[in-house]
Amino acid sequence: MPTGYYTHPEFQRHEMGHFHPECPERLQAIEDHLISHGLDGLLERREAPPATREQLERVHRPDYVDSLERASPASGYHAIDPDTSMNSHTLAAATLAAGAAVAATDAVIAGEFENAFCCVRPPGHHAEPDRAMGFCFYNNVAIAARHALRAHGLERVAIIDFDVHHGNGTEAAFRGDEQVMMCSIFQHPFYPYSGTEHLAPNMVNIPLPAYSNGMAVREVVETIWLPRLNEFRPQMLFISAGFDAHREDDLGQMGLVEQDYAWITGQLVDLARTHAQGRIVSCLEGGYNLSALGRSVLAHLKVLLER
């Protein structure tokens, strides 16, 4: 069964200014690695549709969605915060990124794919129900997970986040929700300086010090994540696939390499096969060193394809 691959040309038109690390070249780096390593023809490509207002509002407040629509500039940039801004393509790209995650969820649940990867930008895991931040506008993974629960009637889903930054927006959306388990690792102390206090029982947050390497992460996965996830028995897995914990990425100070991302992905594929009929939807989050990002996504996709 092929792996679905969701993307859209609009994702490369969203940009937040010269020299911003969350840049259109990120997706081109991924495409270049897929082509040069022969994976391009193995993926089943789908063009992302826009998320509907109903789908967005399963996670985001209506007044917040309205505010983004009002803020969208006809030209130039509209600054949300010092790191996050909109150009004339941002709103469409964000709506399509959320729509990619929803469409991938529909296709995986329908049995068209065992798993799918959403090669999207802007990323999503910092977007809170009523706030854009950290390069994020709509929380793609949270919207997809809520869609699986509400539209498809699933009872338990898991969200796994291995970005170097804590997914504060995802936690805000699901804190205390017994239908969702979120497992995350992240560098601490580090932006957005969250995820370590007042944890709900469904939040399995593991802060790690700077310069932690792959062995430290593998120990977390084996001794903490997997026991909790096996006990939870998720019916579908969603991955916030951030690759900025790579040792070559200057936006973090962690020590992961491609082999670590492949190993983590393999553990999650095995878990999904045990409890969730293999169902995984993975969405791109961070990763800003272009070469490391391309190599890491390649390693991630190879496992999704081969397992």
Catalytic positions: 126
Helix or strand holding residue 160 (H, E): strand 157-161
Cβ of 253: how many Cβ atoms within 10 Å?
15
Q: How far apart are CA 117 and CA 87, in angstroms?
A: 25
Cβ of 62: how many Cβ atoms within 10 Å?
11
Q: How far apart are CA 166 and CA 169, in angstroms?
A: 9
Secondary structure in 3-state letters for 86-119: ECCCHHHHHHHHHHHHHHHHHHHHCCCCCEEEEC
Cβ of 201: how many Cβ atoms within 10 Å?
9
Cβ of 110: how many Cβ atoms within 10 Å?
9
